[in-house]
Structure 1
Amino acid sequence: MRLLLHICCGPCAVYPVSVLEEEGVDFEGLFYNPNIHPYDEFVRRKENVGEFAKIKNFSVKYMDDFSQDIWEKLGEDNENRCNMCYTVRIDKVAQFAKENGFDAFTTTLLVSPYQKHELIVELSEKAAQKYGLTFYYKDFRPGFRQGQQWAKELGLYRQKYCGCIISYRESEKLKNERKKSK
């Protein structure tokens, strides 16, 4: 089986990559995250994925789509924003997998306890069916903290928000509130 691993960021890839390597899975990474904002954050996360891929010696393809305006239009509606974000990325990953001869795909989004796990699984299964692929499901969440610790030890940049401009603003607001309360 040839597997495409969607990678949202370097730290979230650490544990899933270790599991796939341990299981002897033939995989290649794909960085496709048009949700990450602002642009300098997008670049930083992309470069960080490259650093991690060099450390672990695996191949990664990059799709440089950047589309802040789409997320801006969604406003503060978290439910629709997250649903759209997952749908856009998962569908594109499945399409890329199909067009490039992969048998299956999965995503590092499955490692974070902060993501909507069941929704990611549901959307991934639908995309797999749509493109005639296998969705390679693994619940990577039990290794989240361990992966984050390994990322820290490797010197990888660890961001403080999921990626979209709205979550960025929310994280900045929290940071400013903490500063004020000190």
Structure 2
Amino acid sequence: MKILTHICCGPCLVYPYEKMIREGEHLTGFWYNPNIHPFTEYKERLKSLRKFQDMKQMDIVYQDSYDLERFLQAAMSDLQDRCMHCYILRLTEAARYAKANGFEYFTTTLLVSPYQKLDYIRKVGNDLEAQTGVKFLDLDIVSGYREGRQKAREMGLYMQKYCGCVFSEKERYQKKAKKKKKSISHTPSK
């Protein structure tokens, strides 16, 4: 099978890459992630993926355009469903590239993360399969998330703390602030 694999980040690539290689599959990576904010975070994740590529000699296509405005436009059109719009944006680019370049299948490393909305990803993938004729490879790989993260650490890959978008970054810091406030309010007074 000729598989185009959308890559969200290096650490999420480790497990699906190793699994598919063990199964004798040939995969080509595809980097397109305009959601990542700030730009320094985008560059850090890109650098980490290039490190993985050098280690594994993997073929990766980089659609390296920091198209943040396009992502924000899509996300702001419906903040409640911003993740769906993000998946549509990224996977549409992958499916288009796959069709234009003769790939039989496309998939995404997003499927490894228990923190992603997997039902949304599968819906988008299946809808794009119907639109493009390129089959969506629905990998059942979330069970390998922790193993992949551990191997990524051992490889010295950059380990990000949030999905990438400005909204998830905000949520991350809000959760930290709530935890800190809660622990302070539970501290016994003297």
Question: What is the TM-score with the length of structure 1 in the denominator?
Answer: 0.92
Aligned residues: 182
Displacement, 1:79?
Answer: 3.4
2:29 aligns with 29
The answer to whether the 8 A contact 2:105-2:135 is kept is: yes
2:170 aligns with 169
Equivalent pairs: percent with the same residue? Answer: 43
2:71 corresponds to 1:54: no
CA–CA distance in structure 1, aligned partners of residues 172 and 113 of structure 2: 17
How has the CA–CA distance of structure 1 residues 121 and 93 changed in structure 2, closer, same or farther, with 3 Å as cutoff? same
Question: Which stretches in structure 2 are left out of the alignment for 5+ residues?
Answer: 185-190
2:152 aligns with 151
**Aligned alpha-carbon RMSD (Å):** 1.9
1:41 maps to amino acid: E
CA–CA distance in structure 1, aligned partners of residues 80 and 140 of structure 2: 22
2:4 aligns with 4
How has the CA–CA distance of structure 1 residues 92 and 160 changed in structure 2, closer, same or farther, with 3 Å as cutoff? same
The answer to whether the 8 A contact 2:35-2:72 is kept is: no
Listed as ranges, the matches of 1:70-89 within 5 Å are 70-72=70-72, 74=75, 79-89=80-90
Displacement, 1:179?
Answer: 5.5
CA–CA distance in structure 1, aligned partners of residues 68 and 178 of structure 2: 25
1:111-158 CA distance string (max 9 Å, x none): 000101111011101111211111112111010000011011111111
CA–CA distance in structure 1, aligned partners of residues 69 and 177 of structure 2: 25
Displacement, 1:72?
Answer: 4.7
Displacement, 1:170?
Answer: 1.9
Displacement, 1:65?
Answer: 2.6
The answer to whether the 8 A contact 1:71-1:164 is kept is: no
Which protein shows a greater Rg? Answer: 2
CA–CA distance in structure 1, aligned partners of residues 119 and 19 of structure 2: 20
Local SS of the residue matching 2:48: helix
Listed as ranges, the matches of 1:58-69 within 5 Å are 58-69=58-69
How has the CA–CA distance of structure 1 residues 67 and 177 changed in structure 2, closer, same or farther, with 3 Å as cutoff? farther
Local SS of the residue matching 2:30: strand
Local SS of the residue matching 2:31: strand
How has the CA–CA distance of structure 1 residues 171 and 62 changed in structure 2, closer, same or farther, with 3 Å as cutoff? same
Local SS of the residue matching 2:115: coil
The answer to whether the 8 A contact 2:10-2:45 is kept is: yes
1:63 maps to amino acid: Q
CA–CA distance in structure 1, aligned partners of residues 144 and 117 of structure 2: 16
The answer to whether the 8 A contact 1:103-1:134 is kept is: yes
How has the CA–CA distance of structure 1 residues 7 and 145 changed in structure 2, closer, same or farther, with 3 Å as cutoff? same
Local SS of the residue matching 2:139: coil
2:115 aligns with 114
Displacement, 1:178?
Answer: 4.8
